[in-house]
Chain A
Amino acid sequence: GDSVTQMEGPVTLSEEAFLTINCTYTATGYPSLFWYVQYPGEGLQLLLKATKADDKGSNKGFEATYRKETTSFHLEKGSVQVSDSAVYFCALSEWGAQKLVFGQGTRLTINP
């Protein structure tokens, strides 16, 4: 079945550092890909998405590019802030079906 694998956490960085969180997926069709963020005490929020190969999703300085050849959707940000501290989830949904399949999450802590 479909699956998502994220890099193991937790990840701790200093403010203004460059961030990469790796995500790879396995799917039988052509899924849409998502990054969700969960801030402490809050529900999941959509951070960005891409619906087809080579699409780049971006939001709040975060970017991820849908790479079909490597089945990857890595999350990047050029300069992280303390307020970016949260748990990040990579997810996919198959075309025509809104069931989201999530990775295990990566806890990110940014130190001032």
Chain B
Amino acid sequence: DAGVTQSPTHLIKTRGQQVTLRCSPKSGHDTVSWYQQALGQGPQFIFQYYEEEERQRGNFPDRFSGHQFPNYSSELNVNALLLGDSALYLCASSLGTGGDTEAFFGQGTRLTVV
């Protein structure tokens, strides 16, 4: 079982550019959530996808968007990058959307905006 895989592992972008991050969930999982973890901080919830729809959204601007594919994999897109978007982006997968189900995290994509 490969667990949750994210790509790429590291990325450097210039302000104003757009970026796409990818996530493959753990086998058998149907729900994907994305988190932003700034240096020295706890992860912050961006949004969650289930059945190819955005089900919940955190306090992030519309520049952050996502997609879930029929095979449950997911993409996170960020437009018009700002320096403040530099962070570790974590993907988590789970089975269903219940509050007590275990979320499995990938190792993250480190995004640096220069």
Do A and B actually bind? yes
A-B contact count (CB 8 A): 71
- The answer to whether A89 and B48 touch across the interface, beta carbons within 8 angstroms, is no
Q: Mark B1-44, 1 if CB is under 8 A from A, else 0.
A: 00010000000000000000000000000010101000011111
User: Contact check: which of B41, B94, B97, B98 meets A105 at CB < 8 Å?
Assistant: B41
Chain A residues with a Cβ closer than 8 Å to the other chain, count: 27
Q: Mark A17-56, 1 if CB is under 8 A from B, else 0.
A: 0000000000000011000100001111110010100000
Question: Given the complex of chains A and B, what is the CA–CA distance between A43 and B43 in angstroms?
Answer: 11
Residues of A within 8 A of B33 (CB): 98-100
Query: Binding site of A, secondary structure by majority: helix, strand, loop or mixed?
Result: loop
Chain B residues 44 to 59 lying within 8 A of chain A, measured CB to CB, are 44-45, 48, 56, 58
Given the interface pairs A43-B90, A99-B48, the reply to whether A93 lies near B99 with Cβ below 8 Å is yes
Closest Cβ–Cβ distance, residue A82 to chain B (whole Å): 22
Chain B residues 65 to 114 lying within 8 A of chain A, measured CB to CB, are 90, 92, 94, 96-108
- The answer to whether A101 and B100 touch across the interface, beta carbons within 8 angstroms, is no
**Additional A-B contact list (10), CB under 8 Å, known A43-B4, A95-B99:** A44-B43, A44-B90, A46-B103, A89-B43, A91-B42, A93-B100, A100-B45, A102-B43, A104-B40, A105-B41
Q: List 20 A-B contacts (CB under 8 A).
A: A4-B42, A31-B99, A32-B100, A41-B107, A44-B92, A44-B105, A45-B105, A49-B100, A93-B100, A96-B97, A97-B56, A98-B96, A99-B33, A99-B48, A100-B45, A100-B92, A102-B43, A102-B44, A103-B42, A104-B41
